């Protein structure tokens, strides 16, 4: 197949199937950067490409440069340019950069006095804190754009709420109890389901919530796997379609953001939906398809940390908390950002020289400074 033939076939598929009814793309339009195609649709595009060329697309070929436009794809995959090898993992989208210059920022942060953790609780100041606020602001803005409010949840929650949510039976090892009937919040979103317990929703809702969370971590590492960390979440309750729509929009947001930040990592299915320890939950997980995806970013030795998770709960919380919508237990989902880990991954991959940072972060730092000065 010539690259012109492949280009024609791809364009027909993109416009006829993926974008059916929307503004059509031309062969040279930037599919991702201009928002024609998102990280979910790229899966369909890859499947079509594999069917048409009769060859497997290797994970390492799934890069922005290769998939930038229909023409770029056709030029790469026509003829015998494409290899038949395929990686083992099942990434939705991959971001590759030069990993050889990655270095842990922890020692340097301590040297600068920007990471203070005398007793296991971590505090950051200076540049690290400014980065933290930029990431937090970006995630909060995405939530607002989806119509969410923004609740600062308390650091503790009744243990009975976590029991009702199924957290205690699924993850007893993570739970840190405090005095009386309270536990430390292991995630931010439980506060929001609890507040809606016993209600009937008249509309689907998108909610914003952030909290300082605490978990028991067997092998804690500052910022990466801390016993105390900040989680910002977007929660959606309504129908299964409402959940999918919000999840999808946030996946697109995250996809573009990580691309603009030139961060190395991948969005991948994750295997541990929170209630999969129950056999009913497992069966459900199989029926409902992937319930959890994570954006994992690379650290200095090739290991990856999840910096965001995209979770579908089906009607689990709707049932557990007796929240109804349209005559049924509400469906729900949450997208959770671990803000501390974004700071860690960013500094690991980009270092401390601000002049070499991606422009969106440099611009945000400037705006922050101007704001502080005014
Ligand atoms: P992991 O697989 O890394 O243990 P998880 O599956 O427990 O994460 P979630 O429960 O989905 O994660 O939490 C949402 C997000 O909160 C994670 O993607 C991560 O960014 C952040 N997070 C979770 N635990 C920690 C921790 N101990 N320290 C820092 N951030 C964390
Ligand atoms: Zn959540």
Q: Which domain holds residue 174?
A: 93-364
Cα 125 to ligand 2 centre (Å): 27
Pocket flag, ligand 1, residue 187 (CB < 6 Å): yes
The protein residue with its alpha carbon nearest to ligand 1, atom 6, reads 272
DSSP one-letter string for 69-125: SHHHHHHHHSTT-S-S---SS--SEEE---GGG----HHHHHHTT-EE-TTS--EE-
Lowest mean pLDDT among 132-136, 223-227, 258-262: 258-262
The protein residue with its alpha carbon nearest to ligand 1, atom 21, reads 338
For 159-182, write each residue's pLDDT tens digit: 999 999 988 887 888 888 888 899
> Pick the residue with more confidence: 359 or 291?
359
pLDDT at 56: 76
Q: Are residues 125 and 272 in the same domain?
A: yes
The protein residue with its alpha carbon nearest to ligand 1, atom 18, reads 308
**Mutation test residue for ligand 1: of 165, 214, 250, 309, the one with most atoms within 8 Å of CB:** 309
- Report how far apart the first and last C-alpha atoms of the chain are (Å, whole number): 61
* Other Cβ atoms closer than 10 A to 284: 18
pLDDT at 74: 93
Q: Which of 94-103, 193-202, 212-221 has the highest mean pLDDT?
A: 193-202
Q: Are residues 295 and 252 in the same domain?
A: yes
Stretch 128-148: mean pLDDT, rounded?
Answer: 95
For 11-46, write each residue's pLDDT tens digit: 999 999 888 888 899 999 988 777 787 755 777 788
Q: Are residues 61 and 135 in the same domain?
A: no
pLDDT at 83: 40
8 Å CB contact between 73 and 67 = yes
Q: Which atom of ligand 1 is nearest to the CA of 274?
A: 10
The model's confidence at residue 354, banded by pLDDT at 50, 70 and 90, is very high
The secondary structure element, H or E, covering residue 266 is: strand 265-269
Rounded Cα gap, residues 140 and 135, in angstroms: 9
The secondary structure element, H or E, covering residue 230 is: strand 228-238
pLDDT at 58: 74
Is 83 within a domain? Answer: no
Is 369 within a domain? Answer: no
In percent, the amount of the chain with pLDDT more than 90 equals: 59
Cα 370 to ligand 1 centre (Å): 33
Stretch 245-269: mean pLDDT, rounded?
Answer: 89
Q: Are residues 102 and 71 in the same domain?
A: no
Lowest mean pLDDT among 40-44, 61-65, 289-293, 315-319: 40-44
Is 281 within a domain? Answer: yes
Rounded Cα gap, residues 128 and 112, in angstroms: 10
**Mutation test residue for ligand 1: of 176, 223, 231, the one with most atoms within 8 Å of CB:** 231
**Residue 280 burial class via C-beta count within 10 angstroms: exposed 0-12, middle 13-18, buried 19 and up:** exposed
Domain edge (last residue) among 53, 77, 101: 77
Within the chain, residue ranges assigned H as helices are 3-13, 41-53, 64-67, 70-77, 106-111, 126-145, 159-165, 167-170, 190-195, 240-260, 279-288, 316-320, 339-350, 359-373
Number of domains in the chain: 2
The model's confidence at residue 361, banded by pLDDT at 50, 70 and 90, is very high
The CA distances from residue 61 to 13, 42, 261, 269, in Å, are: 20, 13, 20, 19
The protein residue with its alpha carbon nearest to ligand 1, atom 30, reads 338
Bridge partners, residue 304, by sequence: 298
Domain edge (last residue) among 77, 104, 131: 77
Ligand 2 is an ion; residues with CB less than 5 A from it? 187, 189, 233, 334, 336
Is 109 within a domain? Answer: yes
Is 370 within a domain? Answer: no
> Average pLDDT over the chain, rounded to whole?
87
Rounded Cα gap, residues 361 and 353, in angstroms: 12
> Pick the residue with more confidence: 194 or 96?
194
Of the listed ligands, the closest to the CA of 165 is 2
The model's confidence at residue 87, banded by pLDDT at 50, 70 and 90, is very low
Q: Are residues 64 and 110 in the same domain?
A: no
pLDDT at 140: 95
Pocket flag, ligand 1, residue 335 (CB < 6 Å): no
pLDDT at 90: 44
* Other Cβ atoms closer than 10 A to 35: 12
Q: Are residues 320 and 233 in the same domain?
A: yes
Cα 131 to ligand 1 centre (Å): 19
**Mutation test residue for ligand 1: of 306, 313, 344, the one with most atoms within 8 Å of CB:** 306
Q: Which distant-in-sequence residues (6+ apart) come within 8 Å of 188 by Cβ?
A: 153, 209, 210, 211, 213, 231, 232, 233, 336
Of the listed ligands, the closest to the CA of 317 is 2
pLDDT at 280: 47
The domain that contains 112 carries what CATH number? 3.30.930.10
Q: Are residues 243 and 128 in the same domain?
A: yes
Pocket flag, ligand 1, residue 215 (CB < 6 Å): yes
Is 86 within a domain? Answer: no
The protein residue with its alpha carbon nearest to ligand 1, atom 11, reads 309
> Pick the residue with more confidence: 50 or 280?
50
Q: Which of 341, 294, 299 is nearest to 136 (CA)?
A: 341
pLDDT at 155 over 50: yes
pLDDT at 54: 81
> Pick the residue with more confidence: 273 or 24?
24
pLDDT at 59 over 70: no
The model's confidence at residue 334, banded by pLDDT at 50, 70 and 90, is very high
Is 203 within a domain? Answer: yes
The model's confidence at residue 284, banded by pLDDT at 50, 70 and 90, is very low
Is 88 within a domain? Answer: no
């Amino acid at each position: 197949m010539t690259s012109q033939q492949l280009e024609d076939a791809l364009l027909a598929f993109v416009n006829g199937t993926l974008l059916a009814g929307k503004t059509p793309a031309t062969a040279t339009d930037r599919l991702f950067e201009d928002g024609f195609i998102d990280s979910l649709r790229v899966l369909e595009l890859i499947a079509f490409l594999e069917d048409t060329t009769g060859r497997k697309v290797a994970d390492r070929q799934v890069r922005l440069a290769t998939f930038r436009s229909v023409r770029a794809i056709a030029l790469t995959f026509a003829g015998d340019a494409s290899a038949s090898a395929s990686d083992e993992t099942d990434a939705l989208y991959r971001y590759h950069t030069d990993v050889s210059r990655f270095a842990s920022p922890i020692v340097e942060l301590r040297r600068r006095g920007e990471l203070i953790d005398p007793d296991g609780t971590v505090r950051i100041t200076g540049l690290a804190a400014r980065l933290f606020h930029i990431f937090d602001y970006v995630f909060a803005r995405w939530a607002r754009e989806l119509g969410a409010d923004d609740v600062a949840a308390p650091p503790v929650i009744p243990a009975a709420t976590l029991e009702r949510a199924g957290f205690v039976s699924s993850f007893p090892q993570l739970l840190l109890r405090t005095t009386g009937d309270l536990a430390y919040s292991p995630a931010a979103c439980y506060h929001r389901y609890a507040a809606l317990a016993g209600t009937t929703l008249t509309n689907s809702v998108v909610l914003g919530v952030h909290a300082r969370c605490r978990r028991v971590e067997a092998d804690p590492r500052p910022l990466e796997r801390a016993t105390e960390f900040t989680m910002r979440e977007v929660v959606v309750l309504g129908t299964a379609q409402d959940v999918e729509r919000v999840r999808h929009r946030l996946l697109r947001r995250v996809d573009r953001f990580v691309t603009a930040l030139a961060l190395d990592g991948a969005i991948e299915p994750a295997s541990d939906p929170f209630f999969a320890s129950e056999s009913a939950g497992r069966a459900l997980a199989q029926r409902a398809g992937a319930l959890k995806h994570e954006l994992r970013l690379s650290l200095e030795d090739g290991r990856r940390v999840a910096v965001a998770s995209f979770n579908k709960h089906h009607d689990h919380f709707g049932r557990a908390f007796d929240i109804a919508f349209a005559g049924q237990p509400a469906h729900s989902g949450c997208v959770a950002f671990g803000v501390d880990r974004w700071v860690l991954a960013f500094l690991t991959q980009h270092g401390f020289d601000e002049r070499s940072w991606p422009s969106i972060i440099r611009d945000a730092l400037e705006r922050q400074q101007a704001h502080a000065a005014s």
